[in-house]
């Protein structure tokens, strides 16, 4: 109706005005009101997105999903092609850091040039770092390209996805070391001090986070997969979306454990799952003590704005209390109440109630 159309035009104006206002401050460092500094970086899938990352005030690339460059092609890109792509990315972002995640193929991310595996449960199958360790030539080509690109601006950080145990991490590092030795022997320059980190997205990695932390320079918590694997729900399955709860106390406790283990070992801990991009979760993420947050570029200004208006002491208190509650709904209700009180303008424009809604009933139960 005319009335509805004009209502939505008004809403659009309201959102645009609000975003214009907060975008002005998006290039300032993210500092809470009590002076706690957190890094805010961008997740990208293709090189072109660095324009959006920079425009929105990201302080680096916290996750480059390298597999997207390998998809929609007839054959695997060769080392030279990868090297040029990676070098351009690193140089364009310098001196800010670029966190390159090694190939995270398999499950929902497939390529035409690699034999498709018959797997009953691809999400639990030969994917990601496992696939790379099975096909070391493909893995080495990518590592060589990354290492060569690291020489230029020395701002590349390397990160292995879906690591589930120490053995896997050591094998990946052994292959990396081998490639480094080959390059050294051939007098090809690379950044000798390139930080090497690991993604924390499998529950077993959380359980042994103290051991993993001794062997890497940083952690990056991938909540998209950590939620999927810890709650035993397929993140792409519509029948169980009602169980996909970032605020599930089990998820929050796992995250807390990983962050504490990282900090105890003196390494930085980031978050690069979608949870970091949703402003309604910002106080929880701050209270969980992450050092850096990485998210889709468009989310950066809103999240930075909320950080600059938060008080770290309050966020810590909120998380302490939330960890004593039994369900995501209870935590969500308390979060909703606090957000409406503290950030009325943000949530007058963007309504958080949809996120906080009670999970819908599973389909089978609705049908009966």
Binding residues vs Mg ion (CB under 5 A)? 201, 222, 225
Asked if 99 interacts with ligand PEP (CB under 6 A), we say: no
Q: 359: which residues sit within 8 A by CB, 6+ positions away?
A: 242, 243, 245, 328, 329
d(CA 269, CA 290): 6
Cα 310 to Cα 106, 232, 260, distances in angstroms: 39, 33, 21
Nearer to Mg ion, 225 or 234 (CB): 225
Nearer to ligand PEP, 22 or 89 (CB): 89
Determine which residue in the list 49, 59, 104, 245 makes contact with ligand PEP, applying CB under 6 A: 104
Nearer to ligand PEP, 236 or 362 (CB): 236
* Residues 93, 60 contacting (CB under 8 angstroms): yes
Beta-strand relationship, 30-31 and 37-44: antiparallel
d(CA 141, CA 130): 16
Least Å distance, CB 146 to Mg ion, is 19
The site partner of 302 among Mg ion, ligand PEP, none (C-beta below 5 to 8 Å per kind) is: none
Asked if 272 interacts with ligand PEP (CB under 6 A), we say: yes
Least Å distance, CB 201 to ligand PEP, is 5
Asked if 298 interacts with ligand PEP (CB under 6 A), we say: no
**Which of 82, 86, 125 has its CA nearest to residue 234?**
125
Determine which residue in the list 41, 42, 50, 65 makes contact with ligand PEP, applying CB under 6 A: 65
For 298-310, b/e burial (b = at least 16 CB within 10 A) is: ebbbbbbbbbeeb
Determine which residue in the list 23, 81, 164, 224 makes contact with ligand PEP, applying CB under 6 A: 224
Nearer to ligand PEP, 290 or 343 (CB): 290
Least Å distance, CB 182 to ligand PEP, is 29
**Which of 280, 254, 248 has its CA nearest to residue 269?**
254
How many residues bind ligand PEP (CB under 6 A)? The answer is: 10
Which DSSP category does 62 fall into? Answer: E
Structure tokens at 349: 């424009």
Least Å distance, CB 322 to ligand PEP, is 20
Q: In 3-state terms, what secondary structure has residue 45? A: coil
The site partner of 65 among ligand PEP, Mg ion, none (C-beta below 5 to 8 Å per kind) is: ligand PEP
Asked if 201 interacts with ligand PEP (CB under 6 A), we say: yes
Least Å distance, CB 162 to Mg ion, is 6
The site partner of 272 among ligand PEP, Mg ion, none (C-beta below 5 to 8 Å per kind) is: ligand PEP
d(CA 310, CA 304): 10
- Residues making contact with ligand PEP (CB under 6 A): 63, 65, 104, 201, 222-225, 272-273
């Amino acid at each position: 109706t005319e009335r509805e159309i004009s209502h939505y035009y008004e809403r659009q104006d309201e959102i645009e005005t609000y975003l214009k206002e907060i975008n002005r401050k998006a290039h300032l460092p993210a500092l809470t009101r009590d002076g706690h500094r957190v890094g805010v970086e961008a997740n990208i899938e293709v090189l072109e997105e660095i324009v959006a990352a920079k425009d929105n005030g990201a302080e680096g690339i916290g996750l480059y999903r390298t597999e997207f460059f390998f998809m929609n092609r007839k054959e695997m890109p060769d080392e030279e092609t990868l090297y040029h792509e990676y070098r351009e990315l690193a140089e364009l972002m310098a001196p800010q850091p670029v966190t390159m995640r090694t190939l995270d193929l398999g499950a929902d991310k497939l390529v035409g040039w690699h034999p498709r595996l018959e797997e009953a449960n691809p999400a639990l199958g030969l994917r990601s770092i496992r696939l790379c360790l099975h096909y070391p030539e493909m893995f080495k080509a990518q590592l060589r390209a990354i290492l060569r690109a690291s020489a230029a601006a020395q701002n590349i950080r390397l990160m292995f996805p879906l690591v589930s145990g120490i053995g896997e991490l050591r094998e990946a590092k052994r292959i990396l070391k081998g490639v480094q030795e080959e390059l050294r022997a051939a007098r090809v320059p690379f950044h000798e001090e390139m930080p090497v980190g690991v993604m924390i997205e499998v529950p077993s990695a959380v359980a042994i986070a103290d051991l993993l932390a001794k062997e890497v320079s940083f952690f990056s918590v991938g909540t998209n997969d950590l939620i999927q694997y810890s709650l035993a729900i397929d993140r792409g399955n519509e029948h169980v979306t009602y169980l996909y709860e970032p605020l599930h106390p089990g998820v929050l406790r796992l995250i807390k454990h990983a962050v504490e283990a990282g900090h105890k070992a003196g390494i930085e801990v980031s978050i690069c799952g979608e949870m970091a991009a949703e402003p309604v979760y910002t106080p929880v993420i701050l209270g969980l003590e992450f050092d850096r947050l990485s998210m889709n570029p468009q989310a950066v200004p809103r999240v930075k704005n909320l950080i600059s208006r938060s008080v770290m002491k309050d966020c810590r208190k909120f998380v302490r209390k939330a960890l004593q509650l039994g369900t995501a709904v209870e935590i969500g209700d308390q979060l909703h109440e606090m957000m409406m009180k503290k950030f009325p303008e943000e949530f007058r424009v963007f309504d958080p109630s949809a996120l906080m809604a009670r999970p819908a009933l599973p389909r089978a139960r609705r049908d009966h």
